[in-house]
Amino acid sequence: MIFLGPLYDWVAHTYSGRINHFPLIRLTFYSLDKTILYFLIFLGLRLWWRHHRHYRGQWGREILVWLFVFYLMLVFALTVFRGTYFPWQLQFYWHRPLSEINWQLWTQTAKLQQGQSIVDFIYNLFGNIAWFIPFGLLYPVLRQRRIGMIQTVFTGMAVSVCIEALQFILYTGITDVDDVMFNTLGALVGYLVYWVAHRLLHHR
C-alpha cells in the first residue's frame, strides 16, 4: 500500500485476531489505497484539461464529478481489480467456459443464507444494493440534460454487467446474476432518493 499502509498495519495488529471477517477489512483498505492513487492521477489530468480548455464550469458540479469518479473507481477496485495494483499485473482468462457463470437467480444468495456466517449473506444482499445507491443518486445529477428513472436504472444495470463480465475474464470474483439484480435495485433506490430530493428542492 502506498497511502494507507501504516494505518492498515496498526488496524491489523490491533484487531485482526478479534474480527472474524478481517479479510474484508483488508480488501477495503487495499481497494481504497488503489482508488486514492488513481483518483489523484485523474484529478491531475482533469485540472490540466480544465486549464488547457479554459473551462469555467461551476465548481460545485465539478466536485460532484470528482465524487462520482472516486466512487466508481472504488467500486471497480473492490469488485474487479482486487488482486492487482497496477495495470501490467492483470491476467486475462479468455477460455473460461460460460457454464461457470451462475445464471440462476438467488442460487448463490441462498447458499450464503444457509452458510456458517450470516455476514456473507448480509454483505452479498445489502452490500450489493448499497454500493449502487450512489450511482442512482449522482448519475442523473451529473447528466447535462434531465433523464428519467428507466435510463438511470438501465445504465446502472449496464455498469453492473460490465463488472460481472470483467470479474469473469480476470477471474477476480464469482460472476453471478444475483449481483446484477441487487446492483440494479440499488440504482433504483438511489434514483428514487434523487427524485424525492429534486421535488422537495424545486417545490419550496
Sign of the dihedral defined by the CA atoms of residues 31, 87, 83, 85, in that order: negative
Predicted pLDDT of residue 204: 60
pLDDT beneath 70, residues of the chain? 116, 204
Q: Compute the CA torsion angle 128, 134, 137, 143 (nearest 10 deg).
A: -110
Instruction: Give residue 30's pLDDT.
Output: 97
The CA distances from residue 11 to 22, 32, 74, 186, in Å, are: 10, 15, 20, 30
- What is the tens place of the pLDDT at every residue in 56-67? 878 999 999 999
Contact 69, 39 (CB under 8 A): yes
**Closest by Cα among 121, 42, 130, 27 to 79:** 27
Sign of CA dihedral 179, 127, 81, 71: positive
Q: What is the pTM of this model?
A: 0.92
Amino acid in position 43: L
* Residues 48, 1 contacting (CB under 8 angstroms): no
Cell of 168: 469473469
The set of cell numbers assigned to 46 is: 482533469
